[in-house]
Amino acid sequence: MESQLEVWNEYLKLRDRSQAVMPELVGIKNALTGEAYREGVLSTKVKRLMGLTVGLRAGCKYCIVGQTMLALQAGATKEEILETLAVATAMGGTPGLSESFRVLQLLDELGKL
């Protein structure tokens, strides 16, 4: 499996490139994302963990790695992420579990496992 930190860095480059070539579209998407993940009744951390579950269910590698990194930045612990993987597996079955391996590898690369 490829390095998940490399996937994160690739995502960041692609995100910046898309901003340069489609500024209006990306600006609208960023405004929506900013509003969706802002602190509210649910914390940003909880919303990022929810996003991780959806990304795992969708099988989107950039979503999985990105939401994991952003959840960690929002203060999520390893234990909270592992419980999120359990929910994704319960809802998504074997595909949810297999996509969870990407998160485990990322946590390992970050020295958090």
Find the distance separating the first CA and the last CA of the chain, reported in whole Å.
17
CA–CA dist 35, 76 (Å, integer): 20
The answer on pLDDT for 88 being more than 90 is yes
Type of residue at 95 = P
The answer on pLDDT for 105 being more than 90 is yes
Boundaries of every domain in the chain: 4-109
For the segment 30-84, what is each residue's pLDDT rounded down to a tens digit? 999 999 999 999 999 999 999 999 999 999 999 999 999 999 999 999 999 999 9
pLDDT bracket for residue 1 (50, 70, 90) = confident
Task: Please tell me the CATH code under which domain 4-109 is placed.
Answer: 1.20.1290.10
Percentage of the residues of the chain whose pLDDT score is greater than 90:
98
